[in-house]
Structure 1
Amino acid sequence: GAARVRWAASMPVAEHLVPGWLAALRRQGDAPRVVLTATNSTAVAELVRSGAVDLGLVEGPDPLADLQQVVVGRDELVLVVAPEHPWARRRGPVEAAVLARTPLVTREVGSGTRTALEQALGGPGPAPVLEVSTATAVRESVRAGWGPAVLSRLAVAGYLRERRLVEVAVRGVDLGRRLRAIWVGGAMPPPGPARDLVALAGAARLP
């Protein structure tokens, strides 16, 4: 039967990229039986270190110098608000310094999205107005009027197209980030489906 592999991925990658990558592997005739754990970037790295999974996929900015890694894609963080929020009607961007002082709806500590934003803005901002453990809960909390949030573009693209959320430009900070595959061992990912996935994702990488 098909090889059974254990992978872990941070939430945006697990929800928005891995399904397409696995479908592409299947079309190539490589159809592994994947047990995928979706969690935050910190937990993904721990699962890789412990040997619980063969491959991790993360979007957090932590160097993870003890792990082998390769960039497999690009993403950016975007500031979003409900259509009724005053920022939805702004003509100009929000300054990074203003964003850094604004209580946000956020993911939990350990989330790659939250860590990346804090590093980009120079440190943790004020206490979150609401802290939840999934991007879906963040999106719905923003829609319900709790306040702004900064999320992966992967996680909000559909909401922006449907005008359920509004993107607000931010000036004075780079919110781009790299998506990485991480593993323990040699310079190449483990042979088999993990290596095939990394090659496929890298070939399809966003510019």
Structure 2
Amino acid sequence: MTLEQLRIFIAVAERQHMTRAAEALALTQSAVSHAIMTLENSFGLRLFDRVGRRILLTDAGKIFLREARAVQARALAARACLEDLGGLRAGRLHVWASQTLASYWLPARLNRFAALYPEVTLGMTISNTEEICAQISAGTISFGLIEGAPIGPSVRTETLARDQLLLVVGPDHPWAESPPEISALDQTPWVLREKGSGTRASFENALQGWGLTTDRLDIVMELPSNEAIATMVSTGRAATVLSASVVSGLIENGLLCSVSMPFPDRHFAFACGARSLSPAEQAFCTLLRGDASRTP
């Protein structure tokens, strides 16, 4: 039994006439007759009684008409659903983003997307770069927004924006007045992001380029929160490295001091794997690419 057979059956039942049903469906009368005969033969039931030139629904036909109309209505609803999803008049966009992006860079873009597609429901999961790449590699999610380089060979990235790491200390730290040599970075306590975060990975890559490792540093605490780290450093005697997006306001207000250090630029990136993007995800990616193309 096919949806086309149901459509033909409903048309014939409503008009009680093969020729009129065929005209309404833009089909030949033989095609309509064949569809009804095939349907009846498939189940060994008569759905119509032929009375002269007229056809009348049998009791079985009357019962089946209710079900056929219900199936047709659900099929039309399913089609409308797909059309809405494809046209972004419905659907869901869920973004996995690393903490710095989620807190400082992403909200404005999500607000713009919501203004363009108000019927699409938005959601966000905040994680770190390593976990997001692991979810992409496992096929659990189709894309994510990460900091720095991807982790895992099956993850592809596309740069969206540049970011700058800053070494910061509290106003009472000696480095606030006298920046250290790179070789002296091990002469203060450190509070750092957890392993797996893009900020931590970028810092470790910079250290490696300078011939150092975090093993030489006095790391007194590792935290998964940029804000908690910034607060601890501003009120204590430790140093840290965070994104300029996180600490610029605190520096302007005198709560943190930026210590000159030649960190290379890093990137905010769109990361994806083997899974295809939904229409909402494709539209969001287009919005992000538009932003990237306008950024010098």
Output the TM-score relative to the length of structure 2: 0.62
Q: 1:184 aligns with which of 247, 270, 273?
A: 273
Task: Specify the alignment match of 2:182 in structure 1.
Answer: 96
Alignment identity in percent? Answer: 28
Aligned Cα RMSD in Å? 2.2
Structure 1: distance between partners of 2:165 and 2:101: 13
Unaligned 5+ residue runs, structure 1? none
Q: 2:223 aligns with which of 116, 132, 135?
A: 132
Q: Secondary structure at the match of 1:80?
A: strand
Q: Secondary structure at the match of 1:128?
A: strand
Cα distance change of structure 1 residues 5 and 29 upon mapping to structure 2, 3 Å threshold: closer
Task: Specify the alignment match of 2:102 in structure 1.
Answer: 14
Q: Secondary structure at the match of 1:83?
A: coil
Paired AA for residue 141 in structure 1? M
Structure 1: distance between partners of 2:169 and 2:281: 37
Structure 2: distance between partners of 1:7 and 1:157: 25
Paired AA for residue 96 in structure 2? A
Structure 2: distance between partners of 1:116 and 1:131: 15
Q: 1:144 aligns with which of 223, 231, 235?
A: 235
| Residues 77-97 of structure 1: CA deviation (Å, up to 9, x unaligned) | 00111111111122xx43333
Q: Going by fraction, where is strand more abundant, 1 or 2?
A: 1
Displacement after TM superposition at 1:31 (Å): 5.4
Task: Specify the alignment match of 1:108 in structure 2.
Answer: 194
Displacement after TM superposition at 1:42 (Å): 0.3
| Residues 93-125 of structure 1: CA deviation (Å, up to 9, x unaligned) | 433332366441101111111111011111324
Cα distance change of structure 1 residues 202 and 160 upon mapping to structure 2, 3 Å threshold: farther
Q: Secondary structure at the match of 1:193?
A: helix
Task: Specify the alignment match of 2:157 in structure 1.
Answer: 69
Structure 1: distance between partners of 2:170 and 2:226: 15
Q: 1:25 aligns with which of 113, 138, 142?
A: 113
Cα distance change of structure 1 residues 166 and 31 upon mapping to structure 2, 3 Å threshold: farther
Output the TM-score relative to the length of structure 1: 0.86
Displacement after TM superposition at 1:63 (Å): 5.3
- Judge which range, 126-135 or 36-45, deviates more: 126-135
Cα distance change of structure 1 residues 96 and 63 upon mapping to structure 2, 3 Å threshold: farther
Displacement after TM superposition at 1:76 (Å): 0.9
Structure 2: distance between partners of 1:71 and 1:85: 35
Aligned length: 201
Query: Does structure 2 conserve the Cα–Cα contact (< 8 Å) formed by 1:78 and 1:167?
Result: yes
Paired AA for residue 141 in structure 2? V
Structure 2: distance between partners of 1:62 and 1:104: 25
Displacement after TM superposition at 1:4 (Å): 1.2
Cα distance change of structure 1 residues 31 and 135 upon mapping to structure 2, 3 Å threshold: farther
Q: Going by fraction, where is helix more abundant, 1 or 2?
A: 2
Q: 2:291 aligns with which of 194, 204, 207?
A: 204
Cα distance change of structure 1 residues 101 and 3 upon mapping to structure 2, 3 Å threshold: farther
Q: Secondary structure at the match of 1:104?
A: strand
Query: Does structure 2 conserve the Cα–Cα contact (< 8 Å) formed by 1:68 and 1:185?
Result: no
Query: Does structure 2 conserve the Cα–Cα contact (< 8 Å) formed by 1:8 and 1:39?
Result: yes
Larger Rg: 2
Structure 1: distance between partners of 2:176 and 2:139: 45
Structure 1: distance between partners of 2:110 and 2:119: 8
| Residues 36-70 of structure 1: CA deviation (Å, up to 9, x unaligned) | 11111101111222233232110033454311221
Is 1:86 the equivalent of 2:177? Answer: no
Structure 2: distance between partners of 1:100 and 1:140: 21
